[in-house]
Amino acid sequence: MYQLSPSILGADFYNLEKQIMQVEKAGCKWLHVDVMDGMFVPSISMGMPVISSVREHTSLFLDVHLMIEKPERYIKEFAKSGADMITVHTEACTHLDRTLTLIHECGAKAGVALNPATSLDTLEYVLDKVDMVLLMTVNPGFGGQRYIPSCTSKIRRLREKINSLGYQADIEVDGGINFDTINTVLDAGANVIVAGSAVFHGDITDHIHKFQEQFAQYNRKAGKKS
């Protein structure tokens, strides 16, 4: 199933409540929350208090992306704050298997994120434990960057690997996804799309509906193939 996960990093924080309500009303099911610590990535963004506040006022699936060093330190706190999916970077975890197990023990779904230059080989011994793999299609830390074209083959190879092993993990892509690049990543095999600027900059409802129209086309293609 295709999902749009609008990233509130691209939202107007002065009007965050209003914009999240627009996202929900437009038919989105997911909301992406980028947590940055100023160490793993250059920027500092938001943390548990923001997630807790958002959780109190929406039923959206909270897709929390931890761009932080040693994320295992805070897994329990993020789960208590209301995260439905907690995604950690393989580059930031000393014991990735243990961290994924902890996420599941806290009642959340577990995701693993890879930076553009990180090999898919790092997933070799944990792919059976993840609910989602997040492939960064820009170098993380800032919104509004351009999609890195070499990531397309990486998405395709990951989809082939997941399918060949019979796993059900979602493939999420994050970075430079807009109406010019959406077909590229969907064709390659991604099914969860993170978009910040492409959703929140301008008419939110109209942008979401355009993404949903693209998903509908791919669902129809899949129906014909089956």
DSSP 23-59: HHHTT--EEEEEEEBSSSSS-B---HHHHHHHHHH--
Domain boundaries, the chain: 3-225
pTM listed for this prediction? 0.94
At a CB cut-off of 8 Å and minimum separation 6, what does 100 contact? 88, 110, 112, 126, 129, 130
Active site includes 170? no
Q: Catalytic residue among 37, 131, 170, 174, which?
A: 174
Superfamily designation of domain 3-225: Aldolase class I (3.20.20.70)
Active site includes 97? no
- Pairwise CA distance, residues 87 & 192, whole Å: 13
Q: Is position 176 annotated in a ligand binding site?
A: yes
Report CA-CA distances (Å) from 183 to 44, 135, 174, 213: 31, 16, 14, 12
Specify which residues 195 forms β-bridges with.
Answer: 6
Per-residue pLDDT tens, the chain, 226 aa: give them.
899 999 999 999 999 999 999 999 999 999 999 999 999 998 888 999 999 999 999 999 999 999 999 999 999 999 999 999 999 999 999 999 999 999 999 999 999 999 999 999 999 999 999 999 999 999 987 766 799 999 999 999 999 999 999 999 999 999 999 999 999 999 999 999 999 999 999 999 999 999 999 999 888 877 655 3
pLDDT at 220: 82
pLDDT at 226: 36
Q: Is position 209 annotated in a ligand binding site?
A: no
Give exposure, 195-220, as e/b (b: 16+ Cβ within 10 Å). Answer: bbbbbbeeebeebbebbeebbeeeee
pLDDT at 32: 98
Q: Is position 189 annotated in a ligand binding site?
A: no
